[in-house]
Amino acid sequence: MTSAIKRKQNLFAYAFILPFFVVFATMLVAPLVYSGYLSFFVDRLIGGISFVGLENYLRAFQDPGFLAGLGRTSLFLVVQVPIMIGLALFCALALDSGRVRGSKALRLLIFLPYAVPGVVAVLMWGYLYGKQFGLIGQITGALGLPETNLLSDSNILFAIMNIVTWTYVGYNMVVMYSALKSIPTELYEAAEIDGASQWRLAWSVKIPMIRPAILLTVIFSIIGSFQIFNEPKLLVEIAPTGITQSFTPNYYAFNLAFVNQDINYAAAIAFLLGIVIMIVSYVVQLSTQRRELQS
Amino acid sequence: MTAPVTIPAAAPHRKAYNRDKHRSTLLTVVLWMAVLYFIVPILWLFISSTKDNGDLFTTFGLWFGRDFNLFANIADVFTYKDGIYLRWTLNTIVYAGVSAIGASLLATMAGYAFAKYQFPGAKVLFSITLGAIMIPLTALAIPTYLLFSTVGLTNTPWAVILPSLASPFSVFLMRVYAADAVPDSLIEAARMDGAGEIRIFWQVAIRLLGPGIVTVMLFTLVGTWNNYFLPLIMLNSGELLPLTVGIAQQQAASAAGGGAQALFSTVITGAFLSILPLIVAFLFLQRFWQTGLATGGVKG
């Protein structure tokens, strides 16, 4: 290829990527940089806006509300993500094993909640949990079980975990199921001739083969957990004492910016949250990929 | 990573595998029981949307009330505040539609270029794009709001559409997809015939990339359709709101309203109606999203 043709092709390649990178720079990079910039200032009633260096960050690290929100999110992450990914993996493996009747219908029905907007999911579960005409209360009442307030201060986090699990098991299952379908069946046949059980097959052939897909779902779930906003925002009216202003970091940043009008501190919280998410996702990625790189 | 990418058209290495021999009753029962967890809430929402407020409070949630009020409720939904629900629906369609078409067009062009051209800086730019997948979008919403308010973009449809156009994950997906779906030999042949690069993209590549584009479009559509945080902070005027924010406001009004006006059945019916379009879209486009997702999953 002559260099003139090559140069012409490069030009077209840049033209193809240009629109995306214009949007990328203005909609992702610029807000990120601006948020970092804002976080170094403070707007005081007396004295106006002044540069304060890392003061907002020092404040965040001593802010019991922010730290509690971060702790709550971490608890959410440690409890909810394994349950959700485990359920999704179990369903994907069961459907892929071909031992279940009606697997095509099952796959669709489990996926269905993903098509329900988060707002509707929270609103619906709020009603299901609630005292007014809550289905859960109706059922436990009919069974003679003691009445429990599912929206109490100590239960609200678990109530939210359930909503998120309900919404995303199906999505994660489809990602894993699609990956399972792309494993060459020769691998199964060889193992089945050797007399391996389905459990053994799943554990030593299928799960290792779809590790990239599982990793993808785990990372997206981590990012999602740290960003929880809809649930506290919409449930605060029916669980006003359990959901504090700083229930999750993202909800806290929203309240700081739009209720307290403390834009600079909100920017610092949002920026810190982004950094925490990137560190956690990166660590998860590194720890799982190390083994693959060695092999 | 060595695992292959599934392409919707065919999975040649997957033979018809004789799996019908051992059905497991136990596993079948376990899974159908599990499905109840996913389906019962949606079923409850449907049944509740056929009840009036009285039946909602006095009858069992999983069975119909004394009267079948679905159509009366639907009429209430569409007449609430001079038909604002229809306005919210149209807004949602416009925001989600424009975002989905725009984001997938940008992602397809960029993904195709990354897959099929070797140009200086490609590696660095693609790594940056990959890294950006980790950026939490809601952490950007507040600074984006501040930037938009300085240029007067808040409280306009653009405030919701523009941020939705940047989808690094879609670029990644389209790059992986284009690498296999568009053969290099075909591009070379088209060049020999004298076709320009732009014509090759529009007339050759786009057709082969169809299933990938549909997947990306569907998921960006769902992303914008379901978005609540961004329109909540960006929009003030009632007539600009999408369904998510509108329904949430209506629900808050019904919860706070007390004796004033019992809106529960209207909120529930509105919520039920709002999930139908996406369910229909997912049902009809199954072939695409079920396999298209594998592209990201396998190479991710």
A265 interfaces chain B, CB cutoff of 8 Å: no
Give the whole-angstrom CA distance, residue A234 versus residue A112.
22
The answer to whether residues A173 and A279 belong to one domain is yes
What's the pLDDT score for residue B262? 58
Q: Is residue A85 located within the same domain as residue A202? A: yes
User: For residues B244 and B33, is the Cβ–Cβ distance under 8 A?
Assistant: no
Other C-beta atoms closer than 10 Å to the C-beta of A53 total: 11
Q: Which residue has the higher pLDDT, A160 or B265?
A: A160
Provide the pLDDT for residue B7.
35
Do residues B172 and B111 touch, judged by C-beta distance below 8 A? yes
Q: Which chain A residue has the Cα nearest residue B197?
A: A12
A189-224 core/surface letters (b: 16 or more CB in 10 A; e: else): eebeeeebebeebbeebbeebbbbbbbbbbbbbbbb
Q: Are residues A213 and A107 in the same domain?
A: yes
Does residue A57 lie in a domain region? Answer: no
Residue A14 lies in a domain: yes
| Whether residues A113 and A248 fall in one domain | yes
The average pLDDT across B46-53 equals 90
Tell me how far apart the terminal alpha carbons of chain B are, to the nearest angstrom.
Answer: 9
Between CA A289 and CA B5 the distance in angstroms is: 19
Q: Write out chain A residues lying below 8 Å of B48, CB-based.
A: 127, 133
Together in a domain, A85 and A24 = no
Residues A73 and A146 in one domain: yes
Residue type, A269: I
Closest Cα in chain A, distance from residue B94 (Å): 17
Backbone φ and ψ of A41, nearest 5° = -120, 160
**What band does B261 get if pLDDT is binned at 50, 70 and 90?**
low
Query: Token pair for residue B154?
Result: 């808040």
The rounded mean pLDDT for chain B is 85
Confidence of residue B295 (pLDDT cuts 50, 70, 90): low
Helices (H), chain A: 3-24, 30-38, 55-61, 64-96, 103-111, 118-129, 135-142, 156-181, 186-193, 198-201, 207-209, 211-226, 230-235, 249-258, 263-294
For residues A159 and A73, give the distance between their C-alpha atoms in angstroms, rounded to a whole number: 14
In this structure, the answer to whether residues A12 and A92 fall within a common structural domain is no
How many whole angstroms separate alpha carbon B164 and alpha carbon B157? Answer: 11
Say whether both A106 and A186 belong to one domain: yes
Q: How many domains does chain A have?
A: 2
Please state the ipTM of this predicted complex: 0.89
Q: Same structural domain for residues A112 and A215?
A: yes
Tell me, yes or no, whether A145 and A263 share the same domain. Answer: yes
Cβ partners under 8 Å of residue A198, min gap 6: A97, A99
The interface residues of chain A toward chain B in range 101-120, judged by CB-CB distance below 8 A, are 101-102, 106-120
Q: Could you report the per-residue pLDDT of B177-202, keeping only the tens digit for each? A: 898 889 999 999 999 988 889 999 99
Please judge whether B132 and A253 are an interchain contact, meaning their C-beta atoms are less than 8 angstroms apart: no
Cβ-proximal residues to A61 (8 Å cutoff; 6+ apart), any chain: A67
Residues A97, B93: Cα–Cα separation, whole Å: 39
- Residue B52 C-alpha, separation from nearest chain A C-alpha, in angstroms: 12
Q: Which residues of chain A have pLDDT under 70?
A: 1, 289-295
Within 176-205 of A, beta carbons closer than 8 Å to B belong to: 176-179, 181-186, 188-189
Same domain, A21 and A80: no
Nearest to B45 by CA among A130, A125, A118: A125
CB distance B264 to B48 below 8 Å:
no
Task: Express each pLDDT in A270-292 by its tens digit.
Answer: 888 888 888 888 888 888 766 66
Structure confidence by residue, pLDDT tens digits, B220-232:
998 899 999 999 9
Interface mutation target, options B38, B137, B154, B276, chain A, most CBs of A under 10 Å: B38
Which segment of A36-40, A233-237, B59-63, B271-275 scores lowest on mean pLDDT? Answer: B59-63
Instruction: Tell the CATH topology of B82-299.
Output: MetI-like fold (1.10.3720)
Domain boundaries along the sequence of chain B: 82-299
Q: In terms of residue numbers, what domain contains A171?
A: 65-294
Residue that the structure tokens 């079980």 belong to = A145
Q: DSSP letter for A203, please.
A: I
Same domain, yes or no, for A18 and A102? no
Residues of A in contact with B224 (CB under 8 A): none
